Amino acid sequence: MDKTECVLNKKPEPASNETVWAFDLGKGSIGEAVRRGNEFLHKASLLIPAEFAETKTAAGRRRMWRTHRKCAVDSLRALPRIQTIANSF
């Protein structure tokens, strides 16, 4: 590529007049914006209360559910052996 063809040397094209909707979900907030061309028609940031923003309790619930399922499956697998042992008495 020739130095005169560098992308940085070109002037940026003007923004189109299409409407652009943007959303951003962060750890403690939700952002939204609506833009048409270079004009922002709407922009807002909503804070999420701390008790809803943290994920440790959700992770704990998922871990508890996986452990519960694993124990239930292990119990079902052991059931035929337990019945066999019980029938031998």
What pLDDT is recorded for position 31?
A: 93
Q: Average pLDDT of the chain? A: 76
- At 64, is the pLDDT very low, low, confident or very high (cuts 50, 70, 90)? confident
- What pLDDT shows up at residue 21? 92
Residue 11 banded pLDDT, cuts 50, 70, 90: low
What is the side-by-side strand order in the sheet with 39-47?
19-25, 29-36, 39-47
